[in-house]
């Protein structure tokens, strides 16, 4: 098929608009109301965003933050809490709380990197700070700031020398909340009026999210956001000892590099060749594949680093709990596409390692990754049980639709509907772009709109089922 340069340019510009405008309209998922069918530990009812904050003070006076926080301790003591509570936590777990946790993680990766930008611009004494601001401040507990945010290239598989524990992160937010403002779109910004703002001590909405992970004994195992200012692949790897799970979360688009990658939609049929995998006819989005599989000057890709970190994490778990651990992959928009591609590669290339023999993907607002042959190869992984994908899309979100002939979505689809209608639960369910055009399409791509419709009471029956049951209802791997 011959395509003129003018046509290619038009399609490329459409893709930039289609994939790029993510960050300005992404807001934290925990701001909207949770429904009654979710357990109390996952609900965030009554959270409101308010810049005129109350005068309630929450300022700790201790200078050593470690004195007020739990220590790691010997490994037997460190695992005692999760061992005692895991059996109760795993009973009758439904897909609703799983989705709730993963949508929080998809928000957290955006907000955490925005806080790091603030620190590097406004913190005194922070190593490698690129500050050019007249607003330089001494954040409370500098040792805590360094531990959480001065991330180094520790070794070939980790940037973090040791995991970031959620209670430590929560302590940082509580001690320094006067320096932050959380905008209605969810972005964390520096509060230039921190000295004169008499309402600077009310809990930030973001603290609710971090507190949820703290109660689940959550940790950030690794984080790579070196390219965060101009875009670039950003990921985090988290774990929950209480829920016996690890999760890779990919960030969506925020900068020019991301938009250029999104617009590079022409198909790549060599993405898996360097891994020793031969999938005849399989073609995937060139921009997504380049982000994940291109190698740096040291011959290492982002995929390599993530896999290495996950293997190291799993191999160092106590032997008696390894079989309990589940691996999730998630992300919003561009992050959703990367989660699809990463999980497919891991399910094929790393299939002999026990941690990659049953990968669960939950993606939000994901664009299409590959062609029909890619879907057939994806289905082979689904049939074997090595891979499952729960893809959540929204009526009117054109980013999830088909752009090129022969392309198709993958996995089981929860398609959210307006006007209080119950969601569609079908396999693949690829939508044509022409059927999804609507007023204010960018709003339909935002996580708050996804969450509001997803957790509507009309969907409570589906969300009350187990993950595996939902996959059985929606899965038809012959389509």
Is residue 122, in this structure, part of any structural domain at all? yes
- The verdict on residue 169 lying in a domain is yes
d(CA 349, CA 273): 11
Q: Give the range among 159-168, 297-306, 452-461 with minimum mean pLDDT.
A: 159-168
Pair (329, 435) in one structural domain: yes
In a domain, 395, yes or no: yes
Same domain, 148 and 237: no
Note whether 176 and 231 are same-domain residues. no
Q: Rounded distance, CA 72 to CA 430, Å?
A: 47
Same domain, 275 and 351: yes
CA distance readout (Å), 243 to 98, 214, 445: 10, 12, 29
Same domain as 231, residue 177: no
Q: Verify that 295 and 441 share a domain, yes or no.
A: yes
Please check whether residues 226 and 181 belong to one and the same domain.
no
Residues 265 and 366 occupy one common structural domain = yes
The CATH number covering residue 363 comes to 3.40.50.1820
Same domain, 202 and 278: no
Same domain, 192 and 238: no
Least confident of 72-81, 200-209, 329-338: 72-81
CA–CA separation, 3 vs 403, rounded Å? 14
Is residue 479 included in any domain, yes or no?
no
How many domains does the chain divide into? 2
Residue 133 binned pLDDT confidence (cut-offs 50, 70, 90): low
What is the tens place of the pLDDT at every residue in 407-416?
999 999 999 9
The residue from 163, 185, 215 where one domain ends is: 215
Residues 198 and 243 in one domain: no
Q: Which domain holds residue 47?
A: 29-88+95-215
Residues near 101 by beta carbon (within 8 Å), at least 6 away in sequence = 42, 212, 216, 240, 243
- DSSP letter (8 states) at residue 155: S
Residues 367, 344 share a domain: yes
Neighbouring-strand partners of residue 387: 359
Render pLDDT for 450-475 as a digit per residue (tens, 0 to 9).
999 999 999 999 999 999 999 999 87
Percent of the chain with pLDDT over 70: 75
Looking at 183, 215, 247, the residue that finishes a domain is 215
Out of 192, 215, 238, pick the residue that ends a domain: 215
């Amino acid at each position: 098929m011959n395509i003129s340069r003018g046509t290619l340019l038009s399609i490329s510009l459409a893709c930039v608009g289609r994939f790029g405008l993510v960050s300005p309209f992404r807001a934290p998922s925990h701001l909207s109301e949770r429904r009654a069918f979710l357990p109390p530990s996952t609900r965030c009812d009554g959270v409101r965003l308010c810049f005129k904050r109350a005068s309630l003070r929450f300022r700790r006076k201790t200078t050593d933050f470690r004195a007020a926080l739990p220590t790691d301790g010997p490994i037997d003591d460190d695992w005692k809490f999760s061992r005692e509570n895991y059996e109760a936590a795993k009973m009758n777990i439904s897909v609703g709380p799983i989705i709730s946790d993963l949508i929080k993680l998809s928000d957290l990766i955006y907000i955490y990197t925005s806080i790091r930008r603030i620190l590097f611009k406004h913190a005194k004494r922070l190593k490698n700070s690129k500050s050019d601001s007249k607003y330089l401040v001494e954040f409370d507990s500098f040792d805590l700031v360094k531990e959480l945010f001065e991330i180094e290239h520790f070794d070939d598989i980790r940037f973090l020398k040791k995991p970031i524990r959620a209670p430590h992160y929560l302590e940082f937010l509580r001690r320094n909340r006067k320096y932050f403002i959380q905008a209605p779109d969810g972005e964390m910004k520096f509060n230039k009026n921190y000295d004169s703002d008499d309402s600077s001590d009310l809990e930030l909405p973001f603290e609710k999210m971090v507190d949820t992970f703290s109660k689940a004994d959550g940790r950030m195992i690794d984080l790579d956001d070196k390219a965060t200012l101009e875009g670039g692949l950003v990921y985090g790897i988290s774990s929950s000892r209480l829920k016996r799970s690890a999760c890779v979360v990919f960030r969506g688009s925020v900068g020019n590099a991301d938009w250029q990658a999104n617009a590079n939609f022409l198909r790549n049929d060599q993405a898996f060749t360097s891994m020793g995998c031969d999938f005849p006819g399989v073609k995937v989005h060139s921009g997504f594949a380049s982000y994940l599989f291109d190698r740096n000057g040291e011959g290492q890709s982002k995929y390599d680093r993530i896999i290495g970190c996950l293997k190291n994490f799993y191999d160092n778990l106590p032997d008696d709990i390894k079989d309990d651990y589940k691996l999730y992959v998630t992300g919003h928009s561009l992050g959703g596409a990367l989660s699809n591609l990463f999980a497919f590669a891991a399910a094929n290339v790393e299939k002999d390692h026990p941690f990659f023999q049953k990968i669960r993907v939950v993606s939000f607002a994901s664009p299409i990754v590959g062609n029909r042959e890619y879907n057939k190869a994806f289905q082979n992984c689904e049939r074997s049980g090595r891979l499952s994908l729960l893809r959540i899309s929204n009526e009117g979100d054109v980013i999830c639709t088909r752009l090129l002939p022969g392309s198709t979505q993958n996995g089981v689809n929860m398609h959210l509907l307006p006007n209080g209608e119950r969601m569609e639960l079908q396999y693949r369910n690829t939508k044509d772009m022409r059927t999804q055009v609507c007023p204010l399409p960018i709003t339909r791509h935002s996580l708050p709109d996804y969450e509001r419709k997803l957790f509507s009471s009309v969907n409570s029956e589906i969300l009350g089922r187990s993950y595996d049951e939902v996959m059985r209802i929606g899965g038809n791997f012959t389509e």
